[in-house]
Amino acid sequence: MTIASVVSRGSSGSDETFPSVIHRPEELDWRRMALKLMLVSILLAFFIAPLSAMAQNLGTSPQFGQAVQGQQATTVEGTVLNVVNWGCNVIAPVIAVACLGVAAWHFRSGRGYLGWGVTGVGLMVISGLGRMAEGFITQAQGIQ
């Protein structure tokens, strides 16, 4: 029984070395980044629009053209209350938790985590301010 000798992968003619550092371009392509952001926004709008139409449930079935209790959908107050309620009570906290989760993951892996953490905390602050505004709108209902 014979055993094959170990074969080296390197060639004797050229000694190729792979760089361990990836060099990024010095300038960011802001146009391309803005285009990607707009595309992602449009795609998210296409997915979220049908869900937002059915998000309001005033009983056993969704009610279209109705605002939250005590408001009409045609008034400015009812529209603002619906937008604030949906954005600040649902969307901002969900994205904030996701950002804080990514921050924890980046912290654990030794990468930059501060941007994700600040974004998550900022979204929670926005949610709190939105809830405060919702409270102001709700309290203003009784003012004649």
Spatial distance between the Cα atoms of 73 and 66, rounded to a whole number of angstroms: 5
pTM of the model: 0.45
CA–CA distances in Å: residue 26 to residues 19, 22, 23, 36, 124: 18, 12, 9, 20, 34
Beta bridge partner(s), residue 57: 62
Q: pLDDT of 38-91, one tens digit each? A: 999 988 888 777 666 655 555 555 555 555 555 566 667 667 767 777 888 888
Q: Sign of dihedral through CA atoms 97, 100, 104, 105?
A: positive
